[in-house]
Amino acid sequence: MKKRLAMLFALCLMTGVLSSCGKDTSSTETTKKDDNTLVILNYGKYIDESVLDQFEKETGIKVKLEEYESPEEMYTKFSAGSINYDLVCTSDYMVERLINEDQVLEINFDDFEYYKNLDSQIFDPENKYSMPYFYGTLGILYNTTMVSDEEVSTWNVLWDEAYKDSIIMQNSVRDSFTPALRLSGYDINTTDENQLNDALDLLIRQKPLVYAYYVDETGDEMAMGNAAMALVYSGEAAYAMELNDDLSYSVPEEGSNLWIDSWFMPKSCHNTEYAEKFLDFLCREDIGMLNFDYVYYATPNLAVKENLDEETLSDTTIFPTDETLANCEVYKQYDIDTTKLSNYLWKKLKSE
């Protein structure tokens, strides 16, 4: 399935219609709403489009899918207000930010038929505002023919001049700052201006070694052997490793990020009944399995996990060990001043 996805991705690139593959992802939607349509905002390549087709077939409710790359881009699109989104999927700290900004509606899980499938250890079942989708870690995807297992046990390898022009970093401020903060002995949620500037100095020093700052392209670039290593999400690593047997994944010993991507209903949602119906649909075992096979990130759906083979369940790239999880932190929402500072530091890095 992953190989078919890669072939489709390549075909879209060759025909120049990548942005129009699958569901309608145009940004021409106005504030005028079709009462029988849900407008969903999600990361790119983060839901099996057959799931959307099946939902439409079963319910008669149409789905329009909008996509984005980073949580910060999502926030910009959402805040623009030109599109009234009914459901949004994004990272934990961004959900927290929008809850604090009073932009999120409560979800009535009492009427859900399949919410019981979700693992309460991954997510608090009493939570009112969001529903978990996938989770995983941030680490290093590396080519074992170029880089040793020992080297990637520490974030230091991302600053090794031997790999000049062969390192891919995340085009995301929080993710790219994480290795620099951990190497400096700082918390990944620090709001200390001096500590963030220290991390920036490290990233500026690293920049001449960087091949590119990517998000969705990373797995394909690594699978094609265009770089020695990349800072990636664990699911993207698993996807690339299926395409290239020389690839492996490591969460460095200094510690990293544990991320949880979740769905929420913004206050722009025009039909909460339809939105909650879609969320409950995602919790269903068969739908959860379709999405797991497509995305290949760790799923909080216990009904799905019960039907996975032992090889998949023991794959620590997909399902991190308890030891790895204990060495990782969830991103917390930055306050307004730190958000402005981090955005400024990121622009400064990219302009160097």
Looking at residue 127, its pLDDT comes to 76
Instruction: Report the alpha-carbon distance of residue 195 to residue 38 in Å, rounded.
Output: 43
Residue 331 contacts by C-beta under 8 Å, 6 or more apart in sequence? Answer: 91, 92, 93, 174, 188, 189, 257, 259
H/E element, 64:
strand 62-68
**Average pLDDT of span 298-309:** 97
Shortest CA distance to 189 belongs to which of 258, 124, 236, 132?
258
The CA-based angle 344-93-347, given to 5 degrees, is: 15
Contact yes or no for 237/141 (Cβ under 8 A):
yes
For the stretch 305-318, pLDDT in tens is 999 999 999 999 99
Residue 147 tokens read as 């880089």
Q: Of the ranges 118-127, 192-201, 311-320, which one carries the lowest mean pLDDT score?
A: 118-127
Q: Could you read off the pLDDT of 128-180 as tens digits, one per residue?
A: 999 999 999 999 999 999 999 999 999 999 999 999 999 999 999 999 999 99
- Residues of the chain with pLDDT > 70, as a percent, come to 89
User: What would the pLDDT profile of 23-40 be if each residue is shown by its tens digit?
Assistant: 444 443 434 456 799 999
pLDDT (mean) for 192-221: 96
pLDDT band at 21 (very low <50, low <70, confident <90, very high): very low
180: amino acid identity, one letter? A
Q: Residue 114, Cβ neighbours under 10 Å: how many?
A: 17
